[in-house]
Amino acid sequence: MRLLIIGGTAFVGRHLAEQALARDHAVTLFNRGRTNPGILPQAEHLTGDRNGDLAALRGRSWDAVVDTCGYHPRDVRHMAAALDGAVGHYTFVSTLSVYPDDAPAGVTEASPVAELAGDPEATEVSGESYGPLKVLCERALLDRWSGAALVVRPGLIVGPYDRSDRFTYWPVRIARGGEVLAPGDHDAPVQFVHAGDLAAFMLDLAEQGETGIFNAAGPADRLAMLETLATCREVTGSAARLTWVDDAFLLDQSVGAYVEMPLWVPASYEGFSAVDCRKAIARGLRFRPLAQTVHETLTWHATRPADTTLRAGLSSDREAELLALWHRSRQE
pLDDT for position 70: 94
CB–CB of 69/13 below 8 Å?
A: yes
Which domains are delineated in the chain? 2-154 (3.40.50.720), 169-190+221-269+289-331 (3.90.25.10)
Cβ neighbours, 10 Å, residue 324: 10
Full pLDDT tens readout for the chain, 332 residues: 999 999 999 999 999 999 999 999 999 999 999 999 989 999 999 999 998 899 999 999 999 999 999 999 999 999 999 999 999 999 999 999 999 999 999 999 999 999 998 899 889 999 999 999 999 999 999 998 889 999 999 999 999 999 999 999 999 999 999 999 999 999 999 999 999 999 999 999 999 999 999 999 999 999 999 999 999 999 999 999 999 999 999 999 999 999 999 999 999 998 999 999 999 999 999 999 999 999 999 999 999 999 999 999 999 999 999 999 999 999 87
pLDDT for position 331: 87
CB–CB of 131/114 below 8 Å?
A: yes
**Closest alpha carbon to 296 in 157, 203, 168:** 168
**CA–CA distances in Å: residue 152 to residues 91, 200, 203, 211, 255:** 7, 12, 11, 10, 31
pLDDT for position 80: 92
